[in-house]
């Protein structure tokens, strides 16, 4: 029963991540955070910088999807 509820919650969250309004805003925000994806960026390999940036990205995501977690963001 709990597993069924978790699967339903995950499906709902996945659907929210695919909504055009959110997806467009997420892509724009992610592009601004170059050291998450640009391997030649000097801060790309600094774990503390990446972690704090991911936390800021999660805060942004939670404005659209309050139940989002870091685990989901990293998937």
Domains of the chain by residue range: 2-74
Per residue in 7-62, pLDDT (tens digit) is 556 777 778 888 999 999 999 999 999 989 999 999 999 999 999 999 999 999 99
Prediction pTM value? 0.79
Burial of 45 (0-12, 13-18, 19+ CB in 10 A): exposed
Q: Are 26 and 73 in contact (CB under 8 A)?
A: no
Extended beta strands in 1-75, E state = none
> With 60 as the cut, is the pLDDT of residue 70 above it?
yes
């Amino acid at each position: 029963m709990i597993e069924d509820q978790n699967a339903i919650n995950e499906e709902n969250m996945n659907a929210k991540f695919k909504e055009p309004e959110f997806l467009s805003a997420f892509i724009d925000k992610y592009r601004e955070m170059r050291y998450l994806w640009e391997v030649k960026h000097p801060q790309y390999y600094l774990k503390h910088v990446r972690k704090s940036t991911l936390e800021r990205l999660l805060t942004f995501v939670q404005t659209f999807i309050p139940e989002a977690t870091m685990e989901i963001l990293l998937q």
